[in-house]
Homo-oligomer: A and B are copies of this chain.
């Protein structure tokens, strides 16, 4: 079964970034989308620290860590003001989008629904071509997450090299121009 394009995310606000992030902008990068709730114990104990370690260990690689605050319970307790304080206190520095509320009183927010997430934390891996490659609900073993990221980064380098080749073949480099196939 071939991987499908990852659904676009739908958000109402972003923290830790001057501009809202769109998935399409991240083409060419492996994306770790970390969906969490600030009052979810498993997110606080495992998921968020893991996402932070990924962001730090793979700094310099074509990899983006993106948070998604996707609240499906205790809505009043986890508003943007509380989230902002939470991110500050936990030293979370990667961009975090706030999942848009579900339509017509659906308690499940839009992006959570679009990805059919079972709950939080959920780690979602999207390849450099924007395709959904892995979705893990609950604790995600570091070795397995690392293996997945390592494999996707190899693919990203190869497809980027192929893209450069294709571009070279079709387009102009410093000393020559080639017509397309």
**Hey, which bits of chain A sit against chain B, CB under 8 A?**
39-41, 44-45, 50, 53-54, 57-58, 73-74, 76-78, 81-82, 84-86, 88-90, 141-155
Alpha-carbon distance between A142 and B143 when the two chains are bound, in angstroms: 5
When distances are taken between beta carbons in the complex, the residues of chain B under 8 Å from A73 are: 85
Q: Which residues of B contact A50 (CB under 8 A)?
A: 143
Query: Oligomeric state, in number of copies?
Result: 4
Contacting pair A84 B90 (CB below 8 A):
no
What are 10 residue pairs bridging A and B, where the CB atoms are less than 8 Å apart in the complex? A39-B85, A77-B85, A77-B86, A82-B82, A143-B143, A143-B146, A145-B146, A146-B147, A150-B151, A150-B154
- A84 and B89 contacting across the interface, CB-CB below 8 Å: no
Q: A76-B82, A78-B85 are in contact. List 13 more A-B contacts (CB 8 A).
A: A39-B82, A39-B86, A40-B89, A41-B89, A57-B144, A76-B85, A77-B81, A142-B143, A143-B143, A144-B146, A146-B148, A148-B150, A150-B150
